[in-house]
Amino acid sequence: MQKSLWLKAVGTAVAATLAAATAAHAAPAPAPAEEVHSAAVTLRYDDSRAAGWEAAVAAGVASWNQTVDNVQLVEAAPGTRAEIVIVATSGWPQAMLGPVRPGGQVRVELGSQAVAQGYNKTRIAAHELGHSLGLPDTKPGPCSQLMSGSTAGVSCTNAVPNLTERSRVESYYGGFASRVPADGRVLADAG
């Protein structure tokens, strides 16, 4: 056998052996895209200074948790830092505009002035949490828009974000690491 043919045969045999060995120890192929699920971003909230608003906060949190997948709100354990700090005030409701990120912090003020004027506490809580999740006001707007706030009137009790509002929040928290952090603006929901 000629030396060049022999080297070619040996080279082919070595390449085949290495390919077989590599294939035997290779990592399994990644799952198809539709089977890959990313974990939701978890944000902690502290309502320990929201006396009288606990039920409304719980209902507002439940409304968001039941309608979005990319972010979930959980109550912070006592003494731990929360991303969303909720306090009761005597003024008008307001909140810092998010989207807040894990490790960041925004403040939600649930003002009794709106309740005194007849607005629904659960709608107020869900609306202000919407600001923390990155949604601005959409005023004027109908009752079907949670972020229309007070322009929907005192008879509006809808505390559920509509499809557009849910989609925006989902986009803010899907792959959140590549997003720009909150700018810290405060949105006062004046009547």
Q: Active-site residue numbers? A: 128
Residue with tokens 């003020």: 109
User: How far, in Å, are 59, 130, 191 from residue 64 at the CA level?
Assistant: 9, 8, 24
Residue with tokens 């929901």: 189
Instruction: Estimate to the nearest angstrom the gap between the alpha carbon of 46 and the chain centroid.
Output: 16
The first and second tokens of residue 154, run together, are 């005192």
- Classify 56 as helix, strand or coil: helix
3-state helix, strand, coil split of the chain in percent (to 5) is 40, 15, 40
